[in-house]
């Protein structure tokens, strides 16, 4: 990977906050049950916003913080599984709003998408000789949530986050890990709605919702997170990471790994209670939140780790430079 630094970070979430008490009116559940099982109290859900609007707002704020002209951006990489368009890419639509010329692409890797996007963006900086790259995640899982299913509807929220990467004399990103294993049991997926054609009849075309087998996802996630964190720690050698920002699908997953690795609670930044699982946007929203709250300070070495549909997983170590 090229020598890069994080120059700007921002996030944007919808105005509408959906509380556990609100969900009690939709399905048979309770605030106490949701918090106990997931650690989630509230989530933000789209009412009038779009993934393009959320991603664009986060991008603008990240560019402003980075202190660069928007035309210095040489590439936009965006991770999403919930964009409103099949084509053009959501990255291209945000590019149109920014009114800049550069290559754009979407990355689809489930909740690991932002890790994939960061590694892709940093790697292409070297390949394409770029000075700055914009990496965005924007998700609207509420589009695909079955709001009659109490097992899944309590878990998800919407939001976006963005980071500006700049070429640097000394790199702040280290030891990228991208992995994946086949989802042979279909434990986590959203099927696309099919349309009838003159050559194929569709007898039934129900709304396609996110489907998940919770126990199987838990087993995969805990193994993937632990394995990735151990690999990153080994690669760090005598300069270990001291802080961790994981993908946050369920607080129990993180707590299980923490106890198994004998890590301290204070080493993890968690904001799942406020935002729930926002798929690939979870990590950049948490990064932004951790920075704004002073939990992340310049010079900190932090491990990012994610897992998601596919089944995908990944991680990277960052020396915080903002």
Catalytic residue numbers, as ranges: 111, 247, 277
Rounded to whole angstroms, the Cα distance separating 49 from 14 reads 7
Rounded to whole angstroms, the Cα distance separating 111 from 312 reads 8
Calculate the alpha carbon distances from 321 to 14, 120, 130, 171, 299 in Å: 28, 20, 19, 10, 6
Q: Do 95 and 152 touch, CB atoms closer than 8 A?
A: no
Q: Which residues pair with 292 in a beta bridge?
A: none
Q: Do 51 and 80 touch, CB atoms closer than 8 A?
A: yes
Q: Do 73 and 134 touch, CB atoms closer than 8 A?
A: yes
Rounded to whole angstroms, the Cα distance separating 134 from 98 reads 11
Rounded to whole angstroms, the Cα distance separating 287 from 161 reads 9
CA 48 to centroid of chain Cα atoms? 21
Is the Cα torsion angle 262, 265, 268, 274 positive or negative in sign? positive
Closest CA to 33 of 143, 145, 155: 155
């Amino acid at each position: 990977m090229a020598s890069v630094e994080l120059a700007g970070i921002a996030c944007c979430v919808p105005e509408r906050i959906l509380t556990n008490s609100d969900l009690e009116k939709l399905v048979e559940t309770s605030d106490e049950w949701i918090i106990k099982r997931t650690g989630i109290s509230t989530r933000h859900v789209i009412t009038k916003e779009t993934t393009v609007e959320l991603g664009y707002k986060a991008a603008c704020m990240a560019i402003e913080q980075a202190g660069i002209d928007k035309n210095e951006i040489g590439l936009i990489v965006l991770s999403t599984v919930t964009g409103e368009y099949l084509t053009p890419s959501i990255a291209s639509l945000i590019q149109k709003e920014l009114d800049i010329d550069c290559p754009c692409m979407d990355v689809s890797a489930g909740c690991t998408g932002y890790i994939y996007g960061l590694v892709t963006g940093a790697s292409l900086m070297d390949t394409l000789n770029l000075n700055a790259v914009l990496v965005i995640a924007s998700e609207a899982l509420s589009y695909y949530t079955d709001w009659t299913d109490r097992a899944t509807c309590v878990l998800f929220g919407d939001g976006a986050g963005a980071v500006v990467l700049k070429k640097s004399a000394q790199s702040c990103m280290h030891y990228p890990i991208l992995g994946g294993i086949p989802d042979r049991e279909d434990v986590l997926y959203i099927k696309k709605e099919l349309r009838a054609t003159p050559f194929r009849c569709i007898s039934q075309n129900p709304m396609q919702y996110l489907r998940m087998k919770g126990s199987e996802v838990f087993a995969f996630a805990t193994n993937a997170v632990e394995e990735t964190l151990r690999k990153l720690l080994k690669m760090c050698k005598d300069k270990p990471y001291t802080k961790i920002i994981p993908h946050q699908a369920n607080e129990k997953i993180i707590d299980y790994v923490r106890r198994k690795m004998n890590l301290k609670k204070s080493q993890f930044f968690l904001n799942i209670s406020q935002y729930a699982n926002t798929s690939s946007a979870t990590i950049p929203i948490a990064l932004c939140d951790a920075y704004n709250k002073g939990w992340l300070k310049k010079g900190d070495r932090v491990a990012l780790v994610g897992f998601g549909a596919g089944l995908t997983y990944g991680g990277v170590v960052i020396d915080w430079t903002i």
